[in-house]
Amino acid sequence: GAVVSQHPSWVICKSGTSVKIECRSLDFQATTMFWYRQFPKQSLMLMATSNEGSKATYEQGVEKDKFLINHASLTLSTLTVTSAHPEDSSFYICSASSQLAGEGWETQYFGPGTRLLVL
Partner 1 sequence: AQRVTQPEKLLSVFKGAPVELKCNYSYSGSPELFWYVQYSRQRLQLLLRHISRESIKGFTADLNKGETSFHLKKPFAQEEDSAMYYCALLTGGGNKLTFGTGTQLKVEL
Report the interface residues with partner 1, using CB under 8 A: 4, 32, 34, 42-46, 49, 93, 95, 97, 105-113
Question: Which CB sits closer to partner 1, 48 or 84?
Answer: 48
Question: Which CB sits closer to partner 1, 38 or 70?
Answer: 38
Instruction: Write the DSSP string, the chain.
Output: ---EEEE-SEEEE-TT--EEEEEEESSS--SEEEEEEE-TTS-EEEEEEEETTSPPEEPTT--TTTEEEEEEETTEEEEEE-S--GGG-EEEEEEEEE--TT-SS-EEEE---EEEEE-
Question: Which CB sits closer to partner 1, 66 or 110?
Answer: 110
Q: How far is the CB of 85 from partner 1 (least distance, A)?
A: 25
Q: How far is the CB of 110 from partner 1 (least distance, A)?
A: 4
Q: How far is the CB of 83 from partner 1 (least distance, A)?
A: 27
* CA 76 – CA 56 distance, rounded (Å): 13
Question: Which CB sits closer to partner 1, 4 or 79?
Answer: 4
Q: How far is the CB of 68 from partner 1 (least distance, A)?
A: 20
In the beta sheet, which residues pair with residue 108? 97
